[in-house]
Amino acid sequence: MARYVGTNNQDILVGTNDDNQFLGGEGDDNLDGREGRDTIKGGAGNDVLFGGNEDDIINGDDGHDTIYAGESNDTLKGGTGNDTLYGEGGNDTYYVDSLEDVVSENNASGGDAGGFDTVRSSVSWTLGNYFENLVLTGTDAINATGNELNNIIKGNSADNVISGGAGNNTLEGGAGNDTIYGGEGRDVLNGGTGNDTLYGGAGDDTYYVDSLEDVISEDNGSGGDAGGIDTVRSSVSWTLSDNFEYLVLNATDSINGTGNALNNIIKGNSADNILFGEAGNDTLEGNEGNDTLYGGAGNDRLTGGVGNDIFGFSNFSEGVDTITDFNVADDLIQVSAAGFGCGLTAGSFNPGQFTIGSAATTGDQRFIYNNSTGELFFDADGIGGGAQTKFAKLSTGLSLTDANFSVIA
């Protein structure tokens, strides 16, 4: 590797096509690395630095510098001062520390020079044309704004405001209490640690939450749904607010998930979860663990998954729920004495209150499982089938017994 060291005057240093190292000194220098993987540092002064067509590291250092990086995967650091950085082709990384810095990925005809390019900024920054990624550095409370592309934007450890723009963006707040705006595309919003506020906007958005103090919204600004099919992935117990469709529980803690009035899909994690569908025709999946699933109002689809699961019903008139994987050896159907009534007592279940068949045959029978159709009925008077109401559907041919039922208050 050839090494070139300037003086305190205005130097012009030109390298070879090998890997070169330049240190410009204090004057207003012109340093040209040519080909090769060069390391160029301008030093003090207003320098003009050229990298060539290999992977170069170019640092303007002090002064108002101009850097031309060339075609490969280059690192451009303006240093202190108001610098101008040109990346051209390749996957380039730009470091900026002044609002007066200028960065450009334009080629000679004014179009995109190509590559996936990243700006690392210690000041508030808005991505210009043809830049994909933005990372906030330092510890100041600064902000980041994307462009029309599919951006990846990451905050720093302070309180940031991050705005994604029109693309399908991945926006990460990092530490701090961050505010994130997704924009028009299909965005992923992750506030990180801290109490964060996330606004998705239009598109099918995914929100990551990890604090009960996090706030997420699909409000379009006029109180309505911004549109899209939106997913919350939570590592804490979470209730879906208006306009959210999907909820997925992350991590391995025993946390709970609750739906809203929409047709929700709610999935548990590997621990013991309690899932509430609420209104709507919901799909609840317990996954691993000993889970409790309440479909709520509507015709719901309940899958307990692995473990000893409970399928809960507050009354018999909220719809017909389908239990996809009831296991008579492990699972329970739990009903509410207050909601079902008709002589049910919390904490006990009379074997005579259950039968297998198409209709009740005694006045005591309340729960009827038709093992030919899988239908589960509740009969309020236990006489014939005139008053029976279907409230669930299981697999056919199950060896269901009274031991598969429990009654709570």
The secondary structure of 2-55 as a DSSP string is EEEE--SS--EEE--SS-EEEE--SS--EEE--SS--EEE--SS--EEE--SS-
Q: In one letter, which amino acid is 10?
A: Q
Q: From first to last of the 409 residues of the chain, give the pLDDT tens digit.
A: 789 999 999 999 999 989 999 999 899 999 999 988 999 999 999 999 999 889 999 999 999 999 999 888 999 999 999 999 999 889 999 999 999 999 998 765 566 667 899 999 999 999 999 999 999 999 999 999 999 999 999 999 999 999 999 999 999 999 999 999 998 899 999 999 999 999 998 899 999 999 999 999 987 555 666 678 999 999 999 999 999 999 999 999 999 999 999 999 999 999 999 999 999 999 999 999 999 999 999 999 999 999 999 999 999 999 999 999 999 999 999 999 999 999 899 999 999 999 999 999 998 999 999 999 999 999 998 877 678 999 999 999 999 999 999 999 9
Q: Is residue 390 part of a domain?
A: yes
Q: Is residue 56 part of a domain?
A: yes
Burial category of 409 from C-beta neighbours within 10 Å (exposed 0-12, middle 13-18, buried 19 and up): exposed
82, 115, 148 — which closes off a domain?
Answer: 115
Q: Is residue 280 part of a domain?
A: no
Of the candidates 181, 171, 177, which has an alpha carbon nearest to the alpha carbon of residue 157? 177
Longest dimension (CA), the chain: 107
Residue 227: per-residue pLDDT: 72
Q: Is residue 281 part of a domain?
A: no
Residue 292: per-residue pLDDT: 99
Q: Is residue 18 part of a domain?
A: yes
Residue 109: per-residue pLDDT: 57
Q: Produce one character per residue of 356-391: b if its CB has 16 or more CB atoms within 10 Å, e if not.
A: eebbbeeeebbbbbbbeebbbbbbbebeeeeebebb
Q: Is residue 288 part of a domain?
A: no
- 3-class secondary structure, 403: helix
C-alpha–C-alpha distance, residues 105 and 87, integer Å: 5
Q: Is residue 192 part of a domain?
A: no
- Which tokens is 377 given? 């009925």
Structural contact between residues 164 and 150, judged by C-beta atoms closer than 8 angstroms: no
Strand partners, 368: 355, 377
Long-range contacts of 218-223 (CB under 8 A, 24+ apart): 218/242, 218/243, 218/244, 219/243
Q: Is residue 234 part of a domain?
A: no
C-alpha–C-alpha distance, residues 34 and 47, integer Å: 16
C-alpha–C-alpha distance, residues 66 and 63, integer Å: 10
Q: Where are the beta strands (DSSP E) in 48-178?
A: 48-50, 57-59, 66-68, 75-77, 84-86, 93-96, 102-104, 118-121, 125-126, 133-136, 143-145, 152-154, 161-163, 170-172
Backbone dihedral region of 194: left (phi > 0), alpha (psi from -120 to 50 degrees) or beta? left
Tell me whether strands 170-172 and 188-190 are parallel, antiparallel or unpaired: parallel
Query: How many beta carbons lie within 10 A of that of residue 203, not counting itself?
Result: 22
67, 88, 115 — which closes off a domain?
Answer: 115
Structural contact between residues 35 and 53, judged by C-beta atoms closer than 8 angstroms: yes
The secondary structure of 336-353 as a DSSP string is EHHHH-TT--TT---GGG
Number of domains in the chain: 2
C-alpha–C-alpha distance, residues 51 and 365, integer Å: 86
Q: What is the CA radius of gyration of the chain?
A: 32
Structural contact between residues 202 and 217, judged by C-beta atoms closer than 8 angstroms: no
- Which tokens is 44 given? 């003090």
- Residue written as token pair 């934007």: 153
Query: How many beta carbons lie within 10 A of that of residue 28, not counting itself?
Result: 17
59, 88, 115 — which closes off a domain?
Answer: 115
C-alpha–C-alpha distance, residues 10 and 28, integer Å: 5
**Domain limits for position 351:** 314-409
Q: In one letter, which amino acid is 294?
A: Y
